[in-house]
Structure 1
Amino acid sequence: MAQKARVIKAQLQIADMLRHHYQDYSLTLAQHPSETDARLLVRVLAFALNASENLVFAKDLSDEGEPELAEYNLHGDIELWIAFGQLDEKWLRKASQKAKQVRLYTYGGRSVPVWWQQNQNTLQRFKNLQIWEIPEASVQEMAGLMSRGMHLQCNISEDQVYISDGNQSLSLEPRLLKDFS
């Protein structure tokens, strides 16, 4: 019998001093049975870093042809496609063709530099692709914030992201591997 996705509710307060974006969000996330708490919190972090009124999570995590997190314009076109993990060139090419901008948030500790070394030259040709690395220690710390009803505050200033749930807080510094160009 197939396991069902777990529903996670998150209240997210964002203060992004870089983009001057200050907003509260009520998020409902589906956590696939195979998805770790750490990966779900990476998705929440990506939402906070790119938050806008038109940024939405996919309704079905199993649909590989659609972004897990995306910003759509009024015509339904994908302005921003956000992906996670260490994806192959074929998948990123497809996303780059469908969206105006693509952001990939990688994580996974020591495997990220190996993946980046193997793919860096090939991925340079995608002018609308930006790649970020989330340090593994930060990903594991974020997993400690996980609960079915999260209340998180996220402050973004310069290169630092501060996340707190009222009881514990952490600081992390995403690292830019590839910028748009």
Structure 2
Amino acid sequence: MALKATIYKADLNIANMDVHQYGDYQLTMAQHPSETIERLMVRILAYARYADEALEFTKDLFETDEPALWEKDLTGQLVKWIEVGSPDEDKVKKACARCSQVAIVTYGTAVDEWYKRNSKLKTLKNLEIWKLSLATTEAIQALCERTMQLQLNVMDGEWTLIGDNAQAVIEWEQLQ
């Protein structure tokens, strides 16, 4: 018998004073049986970085040709393609040909080696790559609950994610 996905819900309140973006988002995510809590929480941070009512979580671990998040316009055309982790270079190149904005939110100890090995990514003009620090991914796991109330505050480039029982300083490094 196949294992089923675990459903997580997060009420995410964003107060980004740097760009004057404020919003409340009700997120529902399915955690694939093979997905870690770390990756699940990184998906929430990816959503927060590109927050928009039209941004949706996909079936990326169930459907390997989909990203972690995407946004479509009113005609159904892909506008944003957001990957989490260290995706295959060919998949990213195809996404860059299809969408005006492509982003990768990457994390873990092998990121620098992955980025060096996938040198053609540097030639893609509509691609952003963000790396989360190890301290960040460790801290955000403490915020995870099946039902979460999260407050993200951004001021002077400093990101703080606050949950009911803990908080985490989010450290981003832009690789591209």
TM over 0.5: yes
Q: Percent identity of the aligned residues?
A: 42
C-alpha contact 1:153 1:165 (8 A) present in aligned 2: yes
Q: Aligned equivalents of 2:175 and 2:76: distance in 1?
A: 29
Q: Aligned equivalents of 2:18 and 2:61: distance in 1?
A: 30
User: What's the C-alpha RMSD, in Å, of the aligned pairs?
Assistant: 1.3
Out of 146, 149, 152, the position equivalent to 2:147 is 149
Q: Does 1:15 align with 2:15?
A: yes
Question: What is the number of residues matched between the two proteins?
Answer: 176
Q: Deviations over 1:125-178 (max 9, x none)?
A: 111111000011210110111110011101122432100113211112210000
In the TM superposition, what is the alpha-carbon distance from 1:60 to its structure 2 partner?
6.1
Q: Deviations over 1:52-95 (max 9, x none)?
A: 12111115641122222111111111111000111221111111
For residue 167 of structure 1, what is the aligned residue in structure 2?
165
**TM-score calculated relative to the size of structure 1:** 0.92
C-alpha contact 1:83 1:103 (8 A) present in aligned 2: yes
The unaligned stretches of length 5 or more in structure 1 are none
Q: Aligned equivalents of 1:161 and 1:132: distance in 2?
A: 14
Q: Aligned equivalents of 1:93 and 1:60: distance in 2?
A: 17
Q: Aligned equivalents of 1:47 and 1:56: distance in 2?
A: 8
User: 2:163 is aligned with what amino acid?
Assistant: D
Q: Does 1:52 align with 2:52?
A: yes
For residue 131 of structure 1, what is the aligned residue in structure 2?
129
For residue 69 of structure 1, what is the aligned residue in structure 2?
69
**TM-score calculated relative to the size of structure 2:** 0.94
Q: Aligned equivalents of 1:167 and 1:112: distance in 2?
A: 30
C-alpha contact 1:160 1:174 (8 A) present in aligned 2: no
